[in-house]
Amino acid sequence: MNNQKTIPADIASIIDNCPYGLVTVNATSLVSYANATFARVMGIEPDAIINTPNHAMWQTLLKQYSVDGNMKTYIGGVLTLRAKNSNKVVRLSCQLPKQSETKQILYFQDITAESEVDNMKSEFLYSATHELRNPIAIIFGFSDLLLNTEFNRDASIDILQTIHEQAKELNHLTNELLDIARIESRKGKDFVLAEEAIENILQTVRKEWCARVGEHRITLSLPTHIPTVLIDKDKIKQAITNIMSNACKYSPETSVVSIEVVLDKALSDSMVGIVIRDEGFGMSSEDMSHLFERFWRSDRFRNLPGTGLGMSIVKEIIEYHQGLIEINSAVNKGTTVTLWLPIYIDLASIE
């Protein structure tokens, strides 16, 4: 069994509930102990390795895990184990106690979440570099052309216009990258929350978008009474603007984008909904599954400008406000996005 009879019950309980899987190997190279956490981390019952030779334990491990690194160097060092049938990643470290009957102490730590974050960071950096490279290359190429070739005025203006558009795209991309980095690194510390009236923000948004795409394209419908919300109004306005940008960009120029505040759903006792509905090209179920992935853009719309960061920023902002995002869409039938925000409740006024 697990040799726990040699360990006082209170000490055994502490060891079994520590966050690391612990395995000990005695002086005769037999596995002498494995705690309960080992089973939770590795998915292998302690009885499968207790009183077996060290090499037999490794045979059991290697049936389910592959190893990053050199097995010969793990003694006194660190190895990474990757499950063959799942995304689990485990860090294994080994200590060699001195003046003890125990020859080795192995520590198994589940680092799956940490590994996923590292992978996401690597993918993000790769994608960001790729997206930045395109406008930079165009700006460099056309400016080099202007410096080394004489053009007439019309041709020069065309080239300068291209440089200007790419510089604007580069500036937009940089700002969105900074927004994401700031939100994540500051964990909402830059957010300034205050009791706000949603209708004031939406009226400002409508005015701005009417100036961009025309008065006829934007409608706003507000109920008689709208509860206030506790928000950072600038961040919420940014989230609404990102959705409005998508609604207008991915819709025919003659179509209407409507903004509405709803209070008639099951959530209305604690949430207020901002609904933005377009009559555009809509999204497939495949598009919907990738909507919040950074830099992802549907192949259907690669010809339209965009960074693929807008909805991921919306998600970060709404989640910080403890809100919800509800999206309904179908190809060629338009998209409806609802941002649910918690209604402000003055706890001091509650008796």
The number of beta carbons lying within 10 Å of the beta carbon of residue 95 is: 12
Dump pLDDT digits (tens) for 120-148.
666 667 667 767 787 888 898 889 888 88
What is the value of pTM for the model shown? 0.58
The hierarchical CATH code for the domain 115-187 is 1.10.287.130
At the second CATH level, the architecture of 191-351 is 2-Layer Sandwich (3.30)
pLDDT digits (tens, 9 = 90+) for 32-48: 988 889 999 999 999 99
Q: Which CATH architecture has domain 4-110?
A: 2-Layer Sandwich (3.30)
Q: Order of strands, edge to edge, in the sheet holding 31-34?
A: 31-34, 21-26, 102-110, 89-95, 78-83, 65-68
Q: Quickly count: other Cβ atoms within 10 Å of residue 249's Cβ.
A: 16
Q: Which of 71, 111, 106 is nearest to 90 (CA)?
A: 111
Residue 107 — left, alpha, or beta (φ > 0 → left; ψ -120 to 50 → alpha)? beta
Are the CB atoms for 209 and 244 separated by under 8 Å?
yes
**Which is more confident, 179 or 205?**
205
pLDDT per position as a tens digit, 35-91:
889 999 999 999 999 999 988 999 999 999 988 866 665 555 678 889 998 889 999
Per-domain residue ranges of the chain: 4-110, 115-187, 191-351
Averaged over 331-350, what is the pLDDT? 81
pLDDT in tens, 227-269: 889 999 999 999 999 999 889 988 998 899 999 999 865 555 6
Q: Which residues pair with 298 in a beta bridge?
A: none
